[in-house]
Amino acid sequence: MKEPRRSIGPRRNPETEAAILKAAAEILDEKGFDGLSMEAVARRARAGKATLYRWWPTRGALLMATYQQQKQFAGYPDTGSLEGDVGALLALLFDHWSRPEGRLFRHIIAAAQGDDDMRAALDSYRESRLDTLAEIFDRAAARGELSDAVPRRDMARAVMGMAWLHLLVGRMDGDTAGMARTLVRGWAR
């Protein structure tokens, strides 16, 4: 029998965190969204349930952490234009969401419709994504590409909404350049 992981005190043990997220991903692959439980993850990761609940107080929070850990990219493309940045971002997202680990996000959005914990985790994730998506619009504003008529956070919501709609209806083959052109047209100076 393997020895349990040792504690490193009040901080997260990176080894334990990695084992928990790996266990969650494996269980999702094997049993699907409905087969994931905190107990099964703790058992597979050889971690205490108290640790899981301290780091991720709900199943929804653990699912979001698993999804974020599996994402293959960080940051947003910088093509030199707002239209190019939005198109490249949509292409990057659609490519990611087309892979098995990316499809998890579709299930998270669907589950959030009837699960308060999942909805809270998704809302927290959405807010953080909107904050970081502002980077694209800040760059465009610095280049003088944007009108002040539409608040940047609303622009970020429009991009996110377009992306999530395509994810939910399973249209990862959309014309991302055309979508970007449509979205950006009303925002340009």
- For 39-86, give the DSSP string: HHHHHHHT--HHHHHHH-SSHHHHHHHHHHHH----S----SSHHHHH
User: What are the sequence ranges of the domains in the chain?
Assistant: 1-55, 69-185
- CB 136 within 8 Å of CB 82: yes
Instruction: In whole angstroms, give the CA distance from residue 95 to residue 87.
Output: 12
Packing angle, helices 14-31 and 59-70, rounded to 10: 100
Higher pLDDT, 188 or 172: 172
Looking at residues 102-131, what average pLDDT do you find?
A: 90
Class of 69-185 in CATH? mainly alpha
Q: In terms of CATH architecture, what is 1-55?
A: Orthogonal Bundle (1.10)
Instruction: In whole angstroms, give the CA distance from residue 130 to residue 53.
Output: 26
Q: Do domains 1-55 and 69-185 have the same CATH topology?
A: no
Segment 48-80, tens digit of pLDDT: 999 999 999 988 899 999 998 888 677 788 999
Q: Report which DSSP code applies to 144.
A: T
Segment 142-182, tens digit of pLDDT: 999 988 788 888 999 999 999 999 999 989 998 999 999 99
3-state secondary structure of 188: strand
- Name, in order, each residue with C-beta under 8 angstroms of 77's C-beta and a sequence gap of 6 or more: 84, 85, 88, 89, 92
Q: Binning pLDDT at 50, 70 and 90, where does residue 89 land?
A: very high
pLDDT value of residue 6: 52
Q: What is the pTM of this model?
A: 0.82
